[in-house]
Chains A and B, each alone.
Chain A
Amino acid sequence: MKPDSLIEIDHVVFGYDRSRTILNDVSLAFARGKVTAILGGSGCGKTTLLRLIGGVHAPNSGRVVFDGEVVDTADQQALFRLRRRLGMLFQFGALFTDLTVFENVAFPLREHTDLPEALIRDIVLMKLNAVGLRGAAPLRISEVSGGMARRIALARAIALDPELIMYDEPFAGLDPISMGVAANLIRKLNDSTNATSLIVSHDVQECFLICDYAYLLSSQGRVVAHGTPDALNASEHPEVRQFIRGEPDGPVRFHYPAAPLAQDLGIGA
């Protein structure tokens, strides 16, 4: 393991069932204190990678190493110890709909600490202030917008000051202003807390604005390229160029594999 890596994915192969391999011999390393982006089209295994790091699934082969310790999904206690060191922002927030905004952020603090109520209140208000939503503390989750929900989920993810923050599609479905705010927030949080951040996304430009390093995954679940945003922008690799520029033609096919259209429509036979 590289000394500056917090997480190392070592020759990981994974599929939810035998019929399809999602990640195909993937090796990645995420440096401490840096913002790393994992880019790729829909269904290429980006979110699956986060789940493997969190120990939700075990790789079919290969290993995931977190701070020198192999993630073992069979040992629940070790897994929970590891998970206390990370925070995850889910794509749609995954907020608890029966709780208020305040209670959602307070949830991990109440579950994992014996802090007095006054201190919990102060921490929650500080976290909500960091995402600009201190005033929304008494609201119910049904009363907040999608973008606000994402920020509340971020406040909850950082409630325990984790060493690693994983963001699953943090920019999906956000308006341009919210997207810019979210991107800046991720960078600022990473720098101010000295955490390590992983962003899974297909929003290339937003990610390149804030990340230190990026990996590009192909639809076959392989690492196509990796490097700094500048290096990837300058890459002549056809798949990298197609993805970064959003070109319809190139090595990545738009259509899911199928029989010829004429055959399916029953014409020209």
Chain B
Amino acid sequence: MSMNWIATLGRVALQWLHSLGHAAFFFVDVLRRCPAALRRFSLVVAQVHAIGNLSLVIIVASGLAVGFVLALQMYYALVKYGAAESLGLIVNLALVRELGPVVTALLFAGRAGTSLTAEIGLMKAGEQLAAMEMMAIDPKVRVLAPRFIGGIVSMPILAALFSAIGILGAYVVAVLLIGVDSGNFWSIMQNSVDVWRDVGNGIVKSAVFGVICTAVALYQGYETKATPEGVAYATTRTVVVSSLAVLGMDFILTALMFSTP
């Protein structure tokens, strides 16, 4: 009985390792094709538009909402200790270091990631990828690599926009509605937020999350079973795997970037 249990565990572990290796090969394969895709610049631009521009509404709306709520919650907490003047700093650091990259990545996985997976999965189901291969056109160069680059370019821009809109939202609530001093709100940010350590690390984080979310979405789409259930399962897995990978990687990156005071 116990041997069966161990055998099952071993089999699951081996399958997991096999999938991980397969995904790693896929990732390297797509990376190798990026220079060729860059030579077809119009394809990349089209993907930046499809992945980035079309995600703007949800990113801007979410950034604004997060900024509103963050300012309100922080104000209630800080005012008890007479530290309401620190509001701008806390909101800024929370957004550029954590919430901007992480929430944008989660939204990105839900909006652009699922769209990429479904699109590629349906292309596979409709034999469009097979047709390309039979036309001597590499689908990894023509379809996957431009989307991969589009995702990596879009994600940091979207995260920066999320943080900027969030700060504006916090300004509206804190300064215009609650009455926190406007000069104080901005000056404490200028004095205490470091461009490289805080903003720069936030951008690096969002670029890493962009790689993770886009690679997961493309892999799930490319490896999907060519059935309606297969595509549905692949889109779900895109959100689950991307989200867990982003949250896990965020902890590692935060520990590496901000471990020293």
A125 CB → nearest B CB, Å: 20
Q: Which residue in chain B gives the minimum CB-CB distance to A85?
A: B136
User: DSSP class of A's interface residues: helix, strand, loop or mixed?
Assistant: mixed
The answer to whether B135 touches A107 (Cβ under 8 A) is yes
Smallest CB separation, B25 vs chain A (Å): 14
Interface residues on chain A, size class: 20 to 34
A91 to B130, CA, bound (A): 12
The B-contacting residues of A in range 62-84, CB under 8 angstroms, are 76, 79-84
- B contact residues around A97 at 8 Å (CB): 126, 128
Bitwise interface map of A from 97 to 110 toward B, beta carbon under 8 Å scored 1, else 0: 10000000001100
A76 to B136, CA, bound (A): 9
A94 touches B127 (CB 8 A): yes
| Contact yes or no, A86 B142, CB < 8 A | no
| A80-B138 CB under 8 A given contacts A92-B126, A94-B126 | yes
Residues 181-204 of B at the A interface (beta carbon under 8 Å):
none
Q: Is the CB of A112 within 8 A of B136?
A: yes
Contacts of A81 in B (CB 8 A): 136
A90 touches B136 (CB 8 A): no
User: Does B126 lie within 8 Å of A56, measured CB to CB?
Assistant: no
Verify A108–B135 contact, CB threshold 8 A: yes
Determine whether A230 belongs to the interface, using a CB cutoff of 8 Å to chain B.
Answer: no
Answer yes or no: B137 CB below 8 A from chain A CBs.
Answer: yes
**Interface CB pairs A-B, < 8 A, 30:** A54-B133, A54-B134, A56-B130, A76-B138, A79-B136, A80-B136, A80-B138, A81-B136, A82-B136, A83-B134, A83-B135, A83-B136, A84-B136, A86-B134, A88-B134, A90-B127, A90-B131, A92-B126, A92-B127, A94-B126, A95-B128, A97-B126, A97-B128, A108-B135, A108-B137, A111-B135, A111-B137, A111-B142, A112-B136, A112-B137
* Distance A94 CA – B226 CA, assembled complex (angstroms): 13
Task: Closest A residue to B134 by CB, please name it.
Answer: A88
Bound-complex Cα distance A213 to B134 (A): 25
Chain B residues, Cβ within 8 Å of A86: 134
Residue from B136, B137, B138 whose CB has the most chain A CB atoms within 10 Å: B136
Which positions 135-190 of chain A face chain B at CB distance < 8 Å?
A: none
B45 → chain A, closest Cβ, in Å? 16
Count of chain A to chain B residue pairs whose CB atoms are closer than 8 Å in the complex:
45
B interface bracket (residues with beta carbon within 8 Å of A): 10 to 19
Query: Which A residues lie within 8 Å of B131 (CB)?
Result: 88, 90, 94-96
Q: Give A71 to B126 CA distance when docked, in angstroms.
A: 25
Cα A144 to Cα B127 with chains together (Å):
18
A-contacting residues, B115-142, CB 8 Å: 126-128, 130-131, 133-138, 142
6 tightest CB-CB pairs across the interface, nearest first? A94-B131, A83-B136, A94-B127, A80-B136, A88-B134, A84-B136
Q: How far is the CA of A97 from the CA of B125 in the complex (A)?
A: 12
Kindly provide the distance from the CB of B187 to the nearest chain A CB, expressed in whole angstroms.
Answer: 50
Please name all residues of chain A whose beta carbon is closer than 8 Å to the beta carbon of B128 when the two chains form the complex: 94-97
Give the complex CA separation of A97 and B123 in angstroms.
Answer: 9
Contact flags B134-152 to A (C-beta < 8 A → 1, else 0):
1111100010000000000
Q: Which residues of A contact B137 (CB under 8 A)?
A: 108, 111-112
Residues of B within 8 A of A112 (CB): 135-137
CA distance A108 to B133 in the complex (A): 11
Report the bound CA distance from A108 to B137 in whole Å: 8
Q: Please give 14 more A-B residue pairs, beta carbons under 8 A apart, in addition to A92-B127, A94-B127.
A: A54-B133, A56-B134, A79-B136, A81-B136, A82-B136, A90-B130, A90-B131, A91-B127, A92-B126, A95-B128, A107-B135, A108-B137, A111-B135, A112-B135
